[in-house]
Amino acid sequence: MGLVMADDAKGRNVLAAILYRGRWWLVTGALLVAFTLWTAEFHQAQTTAILASTLRHSTPLVLGALCGMLGERSGVINIGIEGQMLMSAWAGFMVASATGDLLTGVVAGVAVGMLMGAVLAGISVGLRGDQIIAGTVLNIAAIGITSFFFTQGRTLPSGKIQPIRLGPLADLPVAGRVLFSNKPITYLTLLLVPVVWFGLFRTTWGLRTRAVGEHPSAAETVGISVVGMRYLNLILGGGIAGLAGAYLSLEAVGSFERGMTNGKGFVALAVMIFGRWNPVGAWGAALLFGYASAVQTQFQFRDWLTSDPQFVGMIPFVVTIVVLAGFVGRARPPASIGQPYSRE
């Protein structure tokens, strides 16, 4: 009897904690939903466009955040996501352009991302170098390499990746266009969020990753290889960032442009922090950022407020600043991030 009551109390506490901790989310989410419903009332097409655009804008941010998360959960800060994405976008495009096969391009992008992850791991884990500098190296190298080897005028012979309509679901009003007629990497991203969450919090790999990121020497004394786990996570994360790069060049734009990542790798870091190093949280955060970008695009598209286009263009960045200023201080990163690990 006592036990049952204790369990019950515990259950209520958990609910209360979720409500308390998640109150910002609830308020923000409720406001956005109300606003969307209100606009949908008199302008359904535009609402649908904004929501679909939200999802598109959020995709590279979620992937970038997942990449950063795998690194940081195992104790390595990755500020080179931007560079990993850019290199992969370039490599994916070049390979797809040369072979004419989009899937080969995507695979090449992911492979290059993993290679970039391995380089980051080699510098920051293998050589115990400064993690911030290692990430900066990736970013600078990516800008240089992609600019130098990029040939103007290349195109994708097969065009960019096309949407897949999920049968009758795609015909639903609003949701059909927003959720069920997307392109493959967007679907894959929606799948990766729960997969990475499950991996981090329900598998032995995730437990070990988190242990290594919080207290590496504790992990080492129970026989977990800290260096091995960090290499693994950075390479996996690099692959996810590579997917984000392939998304940009092969799925979203259909070509490569110099510096086309345009800061998304850094916004992804903000998304990761705002999402408290949790895939589901990061997904929610990415949607918020994606929404801000989508609204901005719509404003420009509709020629609203055209007298001051700079102000409209600011929207996503203002959201970033406000959110980070309000939240970063309260989020708690894995304890050992930034510190190179050595056994003695």
Binding site for other proteins (CB under 8 A): 202-208, 210-211, 214-215, 217-224, 335, 344
**Cα 130 to Cα 300: distance, rounded to the nearest angstrom:** 42
Closest separation between CB of residue 43 and other proteins, Å?
46
**Cα 248 to Cα 88: distance, rounded to the nearest angstrom:** 9
Closest separation between CB of residue 270 and other proteins, Å?
22
Residue among 343, 341, 338 nearest 72 (CA): 338
Closest separation between CB of residue 283 and other proteins, Å?
22
Whichever of 26 and 195 has its CB closer to other proteins, that residue is 195
Closest separation between CB of residue 72 and other proteins, Å?
14
Instruction: For residue 343, give the amino acid letter.
Output: R
Closest separation between CB of residue 210 and other proteins, Å?
7
Whichever of 138 and 211 has its CB closer to other proteins, that residue is 211
Residue among 333, 343, 279 nearest 75 (CA): 333
Residue 135 · residue 78 · CB < 8 Å: yes
DSSP calls for 246-305: HIIIIIIISS--TTTTTTHHHHHHHHHHHTTT-HHHHHHHHHHHHHHHHHHHHHHHTTTT
Whichever of 98 and 218 has its CB closer to other proteins, that residue is 218
Whichever of 57 and 73 has its CB closer to other proteins, that residue is 73
Closest separation between CB of residue 127 and other proteins, Å?
21
Whichever of 212 and 235 has its CB closer to other proteins, that residue is 212
Whichever of 207 and 312 has its CB closer to other proteins, that residue is 207
143 DSSP assignment = H
Instruction: Provide the 3-class DSSP secondary structure of residue 158.
Output: coil
